[in-house]
Amino acid sequence: MKRPILVFGSTSLVGSDFTAEATARFEVHAVGRSDPAELNLDVHQFHRIDLTDEHDVRDLLAPRSGDVAWINFAARTDVDGCERERQSDPQKNSDSSSRADSAWRMNAEFPGWLAEASAASRTPLIHLSTDFVFDGTAGPYQENDLPSPLGPRLSWYGYTKGMGEQRIRHSSAPALTMRISYPYRARFEHKTDFARNLLSRGRAGRLFPLYSDQRITPTWVPDVTGALLTLTEHPETGTLHVASPETTSPLEFASCLFREFHLDVGPLKEARLAEQPARLDRAPRPILGGLGVRRAQALGLLTHAYRDGIRAMATDEHADPPQPSGTS
């Protein structure tokens, strides 16, 4: 008999890949706003809940026992959209920061409610987070590095995610925070990602100049799924990074991507992130970002170097190329 697992945000870019694989092993109970059936995800049960509603979240979790794990992909991930909510001290401005749809409520408060319920029921919790919790002055970052304080180099999204991490860390929940970085996958028609955005812009001749000074460690999404499937069976606590063991820049990544996809886009234009003027409508990005993966390697978890992830992506596409629109 399959054991129950609770998945928050199963319709997400990252979580939908895990959910698709997990249904074969577990009785998946999905929680969120959109029905996973719309993505052809065959979950056992869907609980339609707005996760910024504290009462609904607590009502769902309080009576639960016997779940193998709770896995949280749900977040407000629109980095530039979150930036419009930036304020000096959300804890002193609780009226606006606790607005129902705010990044603060979703990324900082909701993980705290999850952690409290996980501590009470002793259910293992795995919470997804990001290298954007760091201000990008000293990457790649290790698991024991603490999120940066709020400042001009840190996005509001990164700050709220860091505060969510903190609430979990300060709880007594049997919880693991899994940080990932620039996740990309072979296909997912509901949301684009770093790599597929580059490919579609390259194909359309709409490439923008690419940063040569930014350091990133893009995460191949199937590595997240694989790690989560292992960790649901063999729980760990603390913090774990799943990302490319080699850093790259957007310029290097794009050039490798176009080469592997045999796409001739001409010479790539270069830009420097450090030289970009601050803009109110654009959140700051970590310049020296990325995540070190020593712990994942010690645990024997697979983390594709970015070149190998790109190769796996190209192999997938060549095996089953997308149909041009209009083809039946």
Ligand X SMILES: NC(=O)c1ccc[n+]([C@@H]2O[C@H](COP(=O)([O-])OP(=O)(O)OC[C@H]3O[C@@H](n4cnc5c(N)ncnc54)[C@H](OP(=O)(O)O)[C@@H]3O)[C@@H](O)[C@H]2O)c1
Within residues 34-63, the interface with ligand X by CB under 6 A covers: 34, 50-52
74 binds ligand X (CB under 6 A): yes
103 binds ligand X (CB under 6 A): no
**Residue 136: CB partners within 8 Å, gap ≥ 6?**
153, 284, 285, 286, 287, 288, 289
Instruction: Kindly write down the DSSP assignment for every residue of 20-88, as one continuous string.
Output: HHHTTTEEEEEEESS-GGGGT---SEEEE--TT-HHHHHHHHTT----S-EEE------HHHHHTT--S
Beta bridge partners of residue 26, listed in sequence order: 3
Closest contact distance (angstroms) between CB of 204 and ligand X is 21
187 binds ligand X (CB under 6 A): no
Applying CB under 6 A, the span of 13-21, 88-96, 230-238, 305-313 interacting with ligand X comes to 13-21
102 binds ligand X (CB under 6 A): no
Applying CB under 6 A, the span of 123-131, 206-214, 253-261, 307-315 interacting with ligand X comes to 123-131
Q: Binding ligand X by CB under 6 A: which of 9, 90, 158, 226?
A: 9
**Residue 221: CB partners within 8 Å, gap ≥ 6?**
13, 14, 17, 183, 184, 185
Within residues 124-153, the interface with ligand X by CB under 6 A covers: 128-130
Applying CB under 6 A, the span of 70-78, 231-239, 250-258, 310-318 interacting with ligand X comes to 70-78
161 binds ligand X (CB under 6 A): yes
Residue 90 tokens, joined: 């959300």
Check if the beta carbon of residue 89 is closer than 8 Å to that of residue 108.
Answer: no
Beta bridge partners of residue 125, listed in sequence order: 70, 175
Phi, psi at 2, each rounded to 5°: -75, 140
Closest contact distance (angstroms) between CB of 107 and ligand X is 7
Whole-number Å distance between alpha carbons of 245 and 248? 10
68 binds ligand X (CB under 6 A): no
Closest contact distance (angstroms) between CB of 254 and ligand X is 16
77 binds ligand X (CB under 6 A): yes
The site for ligand X (CB under 6 A) is made up of 9, 11-15, 32-34, 50-52, 73-77, 106, 128-130, 161, 180-183, 191
